[in-house]
Amino acid sequence: MPFEITDAGMVFLDLSYLIAAVMFVIGLKMLSRPDKARAGNVWAAAGMLLAMITTLIFHKNAEGQNIAFQNILLVLAVIAVASVMGIVIARRVKMTAMPQLVSLFNATGGIASALVALIESGDPGNNSQMVTLLGMATGSIAFSGSLIAYGKLDGKIRDWLSPLMKYINLSLLLILIAMIVFMLLPMADPGLFKMLVYVLFFFSIVYGITFVMPIGGADMPVVISLLNALTGIAAALAGFIYSNQAMILGGILVGAAGMVLTLLMCRAMNRSLLNVIVGSFGGHTGEGGRQVAGSIREISLSDAGILLNYSQKVVIVPGYGLAAAQAQHICSELDTLLSDRGVDVRYAIHPVAGRMPGHMNVLLAEANVPYEKLVEMDHINPDMPNVDVVIVIGANDVVNPAALDDPSGPIYGMPIILAHAAKNIIVIKRGMGKGYAAIENSLFFNDKTRMLFGHAKEILQKLVTEIKGME
C-alpha cells in the first residue's frame, strides 16, 4: 500500500518544530561569543516565532479541531502587549540593572509554566500527573526564587543568614517530594487531590523564597544560572503536558544549557552546587581568614598615567564595581588610547565576575570592546608574569591571593585571576571595603600594588586626560 499523508497540516507542524529546534541550537551556540550573541538571539527568536505561527495555524486538539479564531486573536493581542512592554523595558534598563532584568524575565517564564501545570492538573491517578506536578513545583520555585534574586540584586532584600535556614530548606524540600509521591498514589476523593495541588503550589512558592534568601551576592551568578535551568525544565514539562515538541525541545535546551553553565561556574569557584545552595557564601561576617599585615601604598594620577603610557602589556581586570560606576565606556576609551600608542591591552575575565553569567562580557561588548581582547581566566593567567601593569577595576575576591594560600579563608581553593603575578598592580577602588566574602584582600598590601582611590569613572577619565597630555 503506498504511503499517504492523512494530515498535511500536522506534518508541516512537526516539521516546523524540527526547524525551530535547529534554530534554537544555532542561536544557543552563537550566544557563547559576544560578537555573535545578537545574531544568536535573532536565530533563536526566529525559531520561536516560526513555532508560534505554525502552532496557531495547524495545531489541533484531541477532537481534531483547530484553535478557535477568537482564541488566536486573544493570543496575538497578549503577544503584542507583552512585546511592547519587553521592548520598552529592555531599552530603558541600565547595564548595571541587567542581572535584575534577567531574574525578572526568568520569573515570568517560571510562573507561566507553573500556571499551565496548575490549570491542567486533572483527576487523581491520571497518567500525566507526575509531569504536571513536577512542572508546577519546578516552575513555582523558579518564579519565587527569581523574584527574590531580583530583590537581592536590586538592594531591596537583604540576606537571611539564620543557621536554621538550611534545615528549613531541607524540610521544605522533603515535604514537596513527599507530597508529590503521595499525590501520585490512587486517590478516591478528587476534591482532596485538588486541594493538595494548591497546597503543593503554595509550598513550592515558599521553598523558592527560602532557597534563595540565604545566598549571598558572590553566588548570584550561579543562582541565576540554576534558576534559569529550572525554568527551562519547567517549560519542557509543560511541553509534555501539551505534547508540544517545540516547548519540549526549547525547554530541554535551556535547562541543559543552564545546568551545564551552573556546574562550570561551581567548578570555577572550586565548590559543589550543594555547597553553593546551603553554604551562603557572600553572607560571611568576616569569620575565617587570616589577618593581613602590611601597608597600603597609593599612586598619583600622573605616575599612573606615565606607567601605563610606557608599558608594553596591560591587563584590565573588570568587576562589578566597573558596572556600578558605569565606567565601561571610559574604560574602552583608555584601552583605545593605549592601543593606539602600541600598548597590548587585554581584559582578564573571571567566570563569576559580576552578578550574572557573562556579566563582564555583556558590559564590555556594550562599550564596543573587541571580542578578541576578552580573555578567559585560564588563558590569561599563564601570561600574567609578563604583564607590565594590571589594572583592577571594581574586582575584589576574584583577584584575592588568599584563595591560593589561606586554608582558613572562605574562598580558599577558588581559582582566581593571578593579578599578583604582574610586574605592577594598580587597584581602582572607592575605599578599603571588603568583597562579598567579607575578608581582607592581601593583593592590596602587595609591595607591587598601588591604590587609586575614587569613583572608577572619574579616575579613568582623569587617567585618559593625563595620558592624552603626554607626547
Task: Enumerate the active-site residues.
Answer: 397
Distance CA 354, CA 410 (A): 19
Which grid cell sits at 32?
557563547
Distance CA 94, CA 363 (A): 10
Pairing of the two strands 449-453 and 374-376: unpaired
Check residue 289 and give left, alpha or beta (phi > 0: left; psi -120 to 50: alpha).
Answer: left
Distance CA 159, CA 167 (A): 16
CB-based contacts of 405, cutoff 8 Å, min separation 6: none
Q: Closest Cα to residue 50, out of 14, 93, 74?
A: 14
Q: Closest Cα to residue 194, out of 124, 96, 259?
A: 124
Q: Closest Cα to residue 146, out of 114, 188, 101?
A: 101
Distance CA 460, CA 393 (A): 10
Classify 25 as helix, strand or coil.
helix
Distance CA 446, CA 425 (A): 9
The total number of residues written for the chain in this structure: 471
DSSP letters of 75-126? Answer: HHHHHHHHHHHHHHHHHH--GGGHHHHHHHHHHHHHHHHHHHHHHH--STT-
